[in-house]
Amino acid sequence: MDEREFDDFYVASFQRITGQVYAMIGNRDEAQECVQEAFVRAWAHRRKLDRAAHPEAWVRTTAYRLAVSRWRRTSRGRRPADRALGAATETAAPSETHVALVAALKQLPEAQRQALVLHHIADLPVQDVAREVGVPEGTIKARLSRGRAALAALLADEEGLSHA
């Protein structure tokens, strides 16, 4: 991948990948930073990227791992006062539906959320989700099934609360 190809790849996919990672982790600023860092690493390892069948998946996986790693570090060392700071850095979403969806996604187990985002937002077939996550297809199908049910239940609760 030469400079021009990399630049094209970067410009074309940055926003899309950031949106997907945002859906996975629920924090837009964090998603943007992690995707940025993943692209830096992509250029550092561009020969590896050349051989990757799905460069976008490579960047997305790296960004997600960075985000999870950051989250684990933060959650270990976080003091009560920091929680308020953390919440304040999340930009308010423009619509109630969007807020509810992101909030519901954040309540799902990590594996279910990742499967839902890759399949429904990144539009990957189950087979590709399984390859990217590194588990059998049956596992992804089960996670999707349970994730959809849980998401529906969470959104229904949210709706009930808002009506109440």
Task: List residues near another protein by CB under 8 A.
Answer: 3, 6-7, 10-11, 14-15, 18-19, 22-23, 28, 32, 36-48, 52, 58, 61-62, 65-66, 69-70, 72-73, 76, 91-95, 97-98, 100-101, 104, 116-117, 120-121, 123, 133-134, 148, 151-152, 155-156, 158-159
Alpha carbons 112 and 155: distance in angstroms, whole number: 15
Least separation, in Å, of the C-beta of 107 and another protein? 13
Q: How far apart are CA 149 and CA 152, in angstroms?
A: 5
Cβ 8 to another protein shortest distance, Å: 9
Q: From the centroid of its chain, how far is CA 39?
A: 15
Least spacing, CB of residue 143 vs another protein, in Å? 14
Closest CB to another protein among residues 80, 134:
134
- CA dist 121 → 22, 58, 78 (Å): 11, 16, 31
Calculate the alpha carbon distances from 44 to 48, 60, 85, 160 in Å: 9, 16, 33, 49
